[in-house]
């Protein structure tokens, strides 16, 4: 599969993406697939690596999105896995769930790659198969009820420190941050969203059906070491 994608990235890439652009949306609300893909494979690798400091991402495995899902573009050796997530990994009630402009570079550490990364792969497979948001949500709820979804492994965390990230409909990047993936828990257990606490728990959207709580801690620098603005939307 990797070799095939490299071939497509060459002389035939433009023709393939043009054909995909002309295809009807795969599901209600979804844009043509080509709008979610990044034609330059190397650019996607670089964007994925920008999620974490080079000392981490430079030795990580990197995955890129192809027409049939995420594929390994670079094999790493430190346990981290970096990729650029798309809009369908957003909360199911997010207005931007199908926004093809969403780009979410993220680097998962080894425990997260073994567990919560499976949520992204599952959602991506469904999206590329043409499933609607409603069908995806129902299937994820059913899987959660059957307790067949992976629970975050102990120590699971991820970096999202990229200047290139666009996580919502709002223009520009959100603040750089780290995320800690834990089994479903009350925010009080972490002191999240309390006055003066640096720990955040997103309460703007209905929690997803996946069996995790995600706590976030803002960083003061982007992955390249430059200072981040004190107040980002």
- What is the model's pLDDT at position 16? 32
| CA angle (203, 181, 84) in 5-degree steps | 90
User: What are the sequence ranges of the domains in the chain?
Assistant: 2-218
Structure tokens that stand for 55 in this block? 């000392």
- What is the model's pLDDT at position 230? 75
- Single out the residue of 70, 137, 146 nearest to residue 108, CA to CA: 70
Task: Report the DSSP beta bridge partners of residue 85.
Answer: 104
- pTM summary value: 0.86
| N residues, the chain | 233
Structure tokens that stand for 21 in this block? 């652009």
Q: In angstroms, rounded to a whole number, what is the distance separating the alpha carbons of residues 173 and 76?
A: 27
- What is the model's pLDDT at position 24? 36
- What is the model's pLDDT at position 143? 97
- What is the model's pLDDT at position 25? 37
- What is the model's pLDDT at position 229? 85
Among all chains, which residue has been given the structure tokens 């059906």? 209
- What is the model's pLDDT at position 86? 98
Low-confidence residues of the chain, pLDDT below 50?
Answer: 1-28, 232-233
Q: Where are the alpha helices (DSSP H) in 103-187?
A: 110-114, 117-128, 133-145
């Amino acid at each position: 599969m990797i070799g095939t994608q490299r071939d497509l990235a060459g002389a035939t890439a433009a023709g393939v993406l043009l054909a995909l652009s002309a295809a009807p949306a795969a599901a209600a609300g979804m844009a043509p697939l080509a709008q979610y893909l990044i034609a330059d494979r190397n650019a996607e690798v670089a964007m994925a690596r920008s999620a974490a400091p080079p000392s981490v991402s430079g030795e990580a495995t990197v995955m890129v999105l192809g027409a049939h899902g995420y594929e390994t573009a670079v094999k790493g050796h430190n346990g981290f896995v970096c990729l650029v997530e798309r809009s369908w990994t957003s909360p199911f009630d997010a207005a931007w769930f199908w926004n093809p402009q969403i780009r979410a570079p993220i680097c998962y550490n080894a425990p997260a790659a073994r567990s919560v990364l499976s949520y992204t792969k599952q959602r991506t497979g469904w999206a590329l198969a043409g499933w609607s948001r409603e069908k995806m949500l129902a299937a994820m709820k059913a899987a959660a009820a059957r307790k067949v979804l992976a629970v975050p492994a102990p120590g699971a965390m991820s970096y999202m420190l990229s200047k290139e990230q666009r996580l919502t409909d709002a223009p520009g990047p959100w603040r750089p941050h780290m995320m800690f993936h834990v089994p479903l828990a009350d925010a009080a257990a972490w002191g999240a969203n309390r006055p003066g606490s640096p720990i955040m728990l997103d309460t703007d959207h209905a929690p997803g059906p996946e069996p995790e709580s995600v706590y976030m801690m803002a960083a003061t620098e982007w992955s390249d070491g430059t200072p981040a603005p004190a107040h980002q939307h």
